């Protein structure tokens, strides 16, 4: 049997004599990544402050702020503080804010009647903000869950949510908000036909310039928990919202929902939640080519903040990367609790 000859590897040559064999590559994708200036020049998606909408939480209190336990870094604000936050948003170049109320339990009832009060917390806050910061856009949610004793977005008969009766109340809520100075009504209730009813009522009341940003594809998601804590509905919600919010398994249905809302007069549409539904954002934008927004909801925010707080990831990098994902999917803007933080970061980096 022939013995096997083992030859040692040749000794490394000095750097002056080493030659690297060519791989014969014509296309080297790394060329465009070699320097920051080059990466910037070929970047496909860009995140700016124009893409940000800042959701804030309101409370009726002499106390300026109250922490939202499940959302580190987020506070409920009284009206005076909300005005100051709106001024900060304007100074940072954030185009719009989206206020949500924490309503005293004593004011909640089965029909959400406090939503129609022209002097309720939301209406007073909108008037105060518009008086002091007229250049900021105010996007007002139209839904009854902060105002109902059962925590649902509509009125109930037994365990059933009544669609048409709820829409009639939502129309009056939208008119109260428009009268107070809201720039955009954002119906988030997912009742059928509410966009057309609200659009008709706004036009009849000579609020034809008030825009509608429809929560057109709002899913029955597990990611809303911290938000419900912030507005005080975790303790009041009876059952769940699966009979009117969308099934997370469905994507084609989102296209049908968006089509109906656009036909009824929506100016802009929104997908909620955000990151778990980027495929829906992309489909809606590609299909309709209309202003399309996404809501990076409280659960998404809380997950990033919790992981960053434990040192498991870089919070700033994860924040920016998550928002860039919305832009890459085709979103024209994002409602995000990171808005002031990312605006400051963008401003600092020029």
C-alpha–C-alpha distance, residues 18 and 20, integer Å: 7
Element (H, E) at 215: strand 211-218
pLDDT for 86 equals 98
- CB count in 10 Å sphere of residue 210: 23
Contacts of 20 by beta carbon, 8 Å cutoff, 6+ apart: none
pLDDT for 23 equals 85
Contacts of 223 by beta carbon, 8 Å cutoff, 6+ apart: 273, 276, 297, 298, 299, 300
Query: Burial code of 296-308, b = ≥16 C-beta within 10 A, e = fewer?
Result: bbbbbbbebbeeb
- CB count in 10 Å sphere of residue 154: 28
CA angle (183, 198, 326) in 5-degree steps? 55
- CB count in 10 Å sphere of residue 34: 10
Strand partners of residue 214: 269
- Please answer whether residues 138 and 183 qualify as being in contact, where contact means their C-beta atoms are separated by less than 8 angstroms: yes
CATH code for the structural domain at 47-349 = 3.20.20.70
Q: At how many degrees (to 10) do helices 315-329 and 339-349 cross? A: 90
C-alpha–C-alpha distance, residues 221 and 326, integer Å: 18
C-alpha–C-alpha distance, residues 148 and 32, integer Å: 55
- Local confidence pLDDT in tens for the 350 residues of the chain: 445 555 555 555 555 555 667 788 889 999 999 999 999 999 999 999 999 999 999 999 999 999 999 999 999 999 999 999 999 999 999 999 999 999 999 999 999 999 999 999 999 999 999 999 999 999 999 999 999 999 999 999 999 999 999 999 999 999 999 999 999 999 999 999 999 999 999 999 999 999 999 999 999 999 999 999 999 998 789 899 999 999 999 999 999 999 999 999 999 999 999 999 999 999 999 999 999 999 999 999 999 999 999 999 999 999 999 999 999 999 999 999 999 999 999 999 87
Catalytic site residues? 218, 272
Taking the model in full, what pTM does it have? 0.92
- Ordered by start, the domain boundaries in the chain are 47-349
Strand partners of residue 213: 268
- Please answer whether residues 56 and 68 qualify as being in contact, where contact means their C-beta atoms are separated by less than 8 angstroms: no
C-alpha–C-alpha distance, residues 336 and 290, integer Å: 20
């Amino acid at each position: 049997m022939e013995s096997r000859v083992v030859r040692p590897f040749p000794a490394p040559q000095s750097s002056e004599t080493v030659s690297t064999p060519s791989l014969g590559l014509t296309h080297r994708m790394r060329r465009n990544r070699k320097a920051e200036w080059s990466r910037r020049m070929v970047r496909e998606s860009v995140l700016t402050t124009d893409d940000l909408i800042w959701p804030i939480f309101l409370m009726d209190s002499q106390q300026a702020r109250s922490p939202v336990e499940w959302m580190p870094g987020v506070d409920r604000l009284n009206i005076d503080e909300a005005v100051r936050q709106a001024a900060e948003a304007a100074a940072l170049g954030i185009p719009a804010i989206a206020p949500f109320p924490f309503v005293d339990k004593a004011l909640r009832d089965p029909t959400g009647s406090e939503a129609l009060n022209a002097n309720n917390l939301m209406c007073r806050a909108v008037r105060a903000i518009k008086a002091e910061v007229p250049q900021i856009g105010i996007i007002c949610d139209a839904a009854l869950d902060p105002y109902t004793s059962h925590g649902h977005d509509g009125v109930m008969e037994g365990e059933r949510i009544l669609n048409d009766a709820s829409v009639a109340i939502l129309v009056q809520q939208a008119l109260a908000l428009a009268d107070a100075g809201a720039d955009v009504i954002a119906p988030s209730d997912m009742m059928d036909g509410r966009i057309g009813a609200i659009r008709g009522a706004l036009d009849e009341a000579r609020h034809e310039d008030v825009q509608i940003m429809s929560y057109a594809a709002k899913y029955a998601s597990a990611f809303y928990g911290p938000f419900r804590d912030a507005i005080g509905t975790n303790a009041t919600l009876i059952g769940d919202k699966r009979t009117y919010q969308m099934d997370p398994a469905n994507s084609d249905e989102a296209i049908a929902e968006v089509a109906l809302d656009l036909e009824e007069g929506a100016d802009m549409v929104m997908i909620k939640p955000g990151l778990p539904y980027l495929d829906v954002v992309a489909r809606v934008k590609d299909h309709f080519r209309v202003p399309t927004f996404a809501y990076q909801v409280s659960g998404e925010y809380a997950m990033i903040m919790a992981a960053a707080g434990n040192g498991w990831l870089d919070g700033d990098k994860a924040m920016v990367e998550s928002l860039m994902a919305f832009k890459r999917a085709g979103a024209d803007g994002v409602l995000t609790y990171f808005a002031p933080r990312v605006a400051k970061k963008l401003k600092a980096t020029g």
